[in-house]
Amino acid sequence: MAAHPEVSVEFFPPKNAAGRERLLAAMAALEPVRPAYASVTYGAGGSTRERTLATVQMVQQKSRFEPVPHLTCIGSTEEGVRELLGYYRDWGIRRIVALRGDLPEGMENPGFFRHASDLVAYVQAFGGFEILVSAYPEVHPEASSAITDLDYLVAKVGAGASALITQYFYNPDAYLHLRDALARRGINVPITVGVMPFVSYEQISRFSVQCGAEVPRYLRMAMEACAGDTAAQWQTGVEILSRQCQLLLREGVPGLHFYTLNQAETTLAIWRNLSI
């Protein structure tokens, strides 16, 4: 196990007052985890710009967590990105998750930036932020090959990224394969594991088709075995994810990043099983 594996959490910007209350409750419940940071997602094409800014401020003002904004660049103008970086610098933000994002339906112009590496280079030149980027152990769904996907990941590090957060996966070998492939390319930045709590097969299979993560047959079968029993499905998901995290911690992963979906319960249950 890494000497001090880091736990971090991800929130999305709530849409309304009820969602805001739910997020505040989740933040309070997650206090015992003492996350190293709380990242806040950003809708591609700027669709959540104002709500992401408000959520970053909410994390800063209402919790003890370090807010880490995501920033997607596809469909953005240079001025828009520069303005956001200016706000974040003024607010004392230290780290940014720099992403390409997906062009929203109906939006045709990709804008000033084409790839996440373009944004990384821009943020690096702007100065003052540690830059985190995405990595895909099971290969990004649009990638022409696993090799080019790795090349572009290496390019993001070359452009200034100093840490990676993975897309979620339910196949730990995929993570180890990526880690070793990067090490062979001389890349030794921390590769934090993205953990997506698995609470229902329907929910996760919907997500997974879009983002290229595979749901192994044993997991599907385990969920089907308790179909109709929400509590049993939840418990099964927690057990399977806890075992995956334990296995990866024994492999020395530097951190776990929980995609909380603005709910504390599942993240807390897995975290309690890990003794970190």
Ligand X SMILES: Cc1cc2nc3c(=O)[nH]c(=O)nc-3n(C[C@H](O)[C@H](O)[C@H](O)COP(=O)(O)OP(=O)(O)OC[C@H]3O[C@@H](n4cnc5c(N)ncnc54)[C@H](O)[C@@H]3O)c2cc1C
Is residue 165 a contact point for ligand X (CB under 6 A)?
A: yes
Nearer to ligand X, 117 or 208 (CB): 117
Backbone angles phi, psi at 34, to 5 degrees: 45, 60
Contact 96, 68 (CB under 8 A): yes
Is residue 41 a contact point for ligand X (CB under 6 A)?
A: yes
Binding window for ligand X (CB under 6 A); candidates: 35-43, 59-67, 198-206, 229-237:
35-43
Q: Give me the least distance between CB of 231 and ligand X, in Å please.
A: 29
Q: Give me the least distance between CB of 119 and ligand X, in Å please.
A: 8
Binding mask 169-198 for ligand X (x = CB under 6 A): -------------------------x----
Q: Give me the least distance between CB of 260 and ligand X, in Å please.
A: 13
Residues 110 and 74: their CA atoms lie apart, in Å, by 5
Single residue of 89, 126, 152, 162 touching ligand X by CB under 6 A? 152
Single residue of 70, 76, 137, 138 touching ligand X by CB under 6 A? 70
Is residue 102 a contact point for ligand X (CB under 6 A)?
A: yes
Single residue of 109, 148, 188, 230 touching ligand X by CB under 6 A? 148
Interactions with ligand X, residue window 200-259 (CB under 6 A)? none
Torsion on CA atoms 112, 207, 187, 34, rounded to nearest 10: 100
Binding window for ligand X (CB under 6 A); candidates: 16-24, 28-36, 94-102, 177-185:
94-102
Is residue 42 a contact point for ligand X (CB under 6 A)?
A: yes
Task: Give the total of residues touching ligand X (CB under 6 A).
Answer: 24
Q: Give me the least distance between CB of 147 and ligand X, in Å please.
A: 10
- For residue 41 the two structure tokens come to 């997602």
Nearer to ligand X, 161 or 223 (CB): 161
10 flagged as catalytic: yes
What DSSP string runs through the chain? --SS-EEEEEE---SSHHHHHHHHHHHHHTGGG--S-EEE---GGGTTHHHHHHHHHHHHHHSSSPEEEEEE-TTB-HHHHHHHHHHHHHTT--EEEEE---PPTT----BS--SHHHHHHHHHHH-S-EEEEEE-TT--TT-S-HHHHHHHHHHHHHHT--EEEEPP-S-HHHHHHHHHHHHHTT----EEEEE-----HHHHHHHHHHHT----HHHHHHHHHTTT-HHHHHHHHHHHHHHHHHHHHHTT-SEEEEE-TT--HHHHHHHHTTT-
Is residue 109 a contact point for ligand X (CB under 6 A)?
A: no
Q: Give me the least distance between CB of 7 and ligand X, in Å please.
A: 15
Positions that interact with ligand X (CB under 6 A): 41-44, 70, 72, 97, 99-102, 115-117, 134, 140, 142-143, 148-149, 152, 165, 167, 194
Residues annotated catalytic, as ranges: 10
